[in-house]
Chains A and B, each alone.
Chain A
């Protein structure tokens, strides 16, 4: 457990030392949202209708940006070999790194989403559900993203490849999350969709550390 916390603390500290990475992810999120009214036109009713979906798509893309650094930094500096050889099972190491990744990218996304929803003229009824759904969805993004990041560590090209592998798997998160917010905006009960998001998080917690660890072992062979 101590080792687990140590890895989380180390990654968060490293991320805080390079705050510009986190800031640029959030800035990308904001910029992508700002581009929509510019591209579609500033009609308020239209913006209100597309607000939930737009915010979710932008959040997904912003989360993709930070993924290729998740293991690549360790791999380049040789720390990955140490993590593989560490007494802590590699699956737990992956879980710790995902937790750290969520703390430095997922949480800022959750916090900035409500502010952006005001920019898009989204109704206030969706606020609470938006935050809850994001809180359930962003850890799933980190976990599934970690699989993509781990599998491409040893590959010739990372970056775009990670998004290509991960985004199709993330479509359920997008559909469930955006639908939940839209249901809440329509005054309907969004709890079932939130529970489904939670179920998906559980599946991801069970499956993704194993897959990512297998990918990392492959990369260090």
Chain B
């Protein structure tokens, strides 16, 4: 019975998201081509990294958005656990696949950047390793969410997990830095380039791409939340119809 009323009236969210969604998706659709133009055509090759610096324009914003997604997920889960706000649960659930996709993009593009620059597909470098662990945290969240028959319970269990994970993320990052020290110590010498120092000509494509990613994130978040709300409504409608049907079967209607 809880489910019946819980999601029965997020009408305000549906109205509001219906207003924001077109704008966010228009911004995403417009900024991606502009960002691509700046990144692929209207920016100079880097002195050290040559043309491969162009991968940075889709790699770095993906890393930013991955971390941002995880932070949002933790914040939404905290709101859901403390105030039992049903929309917050839906938000956290909707963010997870988007965040996992951002980490995936970050990992694959990082690897494709590493091969021509470092001469190897994968380096156990602090940043790559911590993003890999972040990917596992996203996957763990989604799997735990799905492991429950009751979606409200799944949401709360996964929410607790994501909050614990959020506390441990800085520790993971720190320990992975130590891992990197250890490879230097053992003398495994992969000649590495420092993080690209941001030149002004690189700043604009990076910022426009980041804006495009952010708009994409918001649009998808809203679509997925609306989808989840509709799913909850479908579930409650089904339950109501089933109840009515069983009641009709027990007490035949009198003329």
Contact = CB atoms under 8 A, between A and B. Distances in A.
Interface stretch (A30-38, A85-93, A99-107, A157-165): A157-165
Interface string B195-208: 00000000000000
A200 B168 CA distance: 9
* Residue in A151, A152, A176, A221 with the greatest tally of chain B CB atoms within 10 Å: A151
Contacts of B174: 172
B139 interface: yes
B144 interface: yes
A154 interface: yes
Interface in B117-142: 133, 136-137, 139-140
B161 A171 contact: no
B193 to A, nearest CB: 24
B218 interface: no
Given A171-B133, A172-B171, A218-B157, A161 B164 contact: no
A211 B167 CA distance: 12
Contact of A165 (B81, B144, B171, B178): B144
Interface in B132-165: 133, 136-137, 139-140, 143-144, 147-149, 153-154, 156-157, 160-161, 163-165
Given A169-B168, A208-B164, A218-B156, A157 B147 contact: yes
Contacts of B163: 211
A161 B133 CA distance: 16
B176 interface: yes
Given A155-B148, A157-B147, A207-B167, A168 B153 contact: no
Contacts of A155: 144, 147-148, 154, 157
- Looking at chain B, what size class is its interface with the partner chain? 20 to 34
A164 B143 contact: yes
A193 B160 CA distance: 28
Interface in A194-209: 196, 200, 203, 207-208
Contact of A151 (B136, B137, B160): B160
A182 interface: yes
B179 A175 contact: yes
B182 interface: yes
B26 to A, nearest CB: 37
A169 B139 contact: no
Contacts of B153: 154, 218, 221
A179 interface: yes
Contacts of B148: 154-156
B182 A179 contact: yes
Most buried by B among A154, A156, A176: A154
Contact of B175 (A151, A167, A172, A215): A172
Contacts of A214: 81, 156, 160
Given A165-B140, A172-B171, A207 B147 contact: no
B147 A203 contact: no
Contacts of A179: 178-179, 182
A168 B33 CA distance: 37
Given A152-B147, A165-B140, A182-B182, 17 more contacts: A147-B160, A151-B160, A152-B157, A154-B157, A155-B147, A156-B147, A156-B148, A164-B140, A164-B143, A168-B136, A168-B165, A168-B172, A175-B178, A207-B167, A215-B157, A215-B160, A218-B156
Interface of B: 81, 133, 136-137, 139-140, 143-144, 147-149, 153-154, 156-157, 160-161, 163-165, 167-168, 171-172, 174-176, 178-179, 182, 185
List the 3 closest A-B pairs by CB distance, nearest first: A172-B175, A155-B147, A168-B136
18 contacts: A147-B164, A151-B160, A155-B147, A155-B148, A156-B149, A161-B144, A164-B143, A165-B140, A169-B165, A171-B133, A175-B175, A176-B175, A200-B171, A207-B164, A214-B156, A218-B153, A218-B160, A221-B153
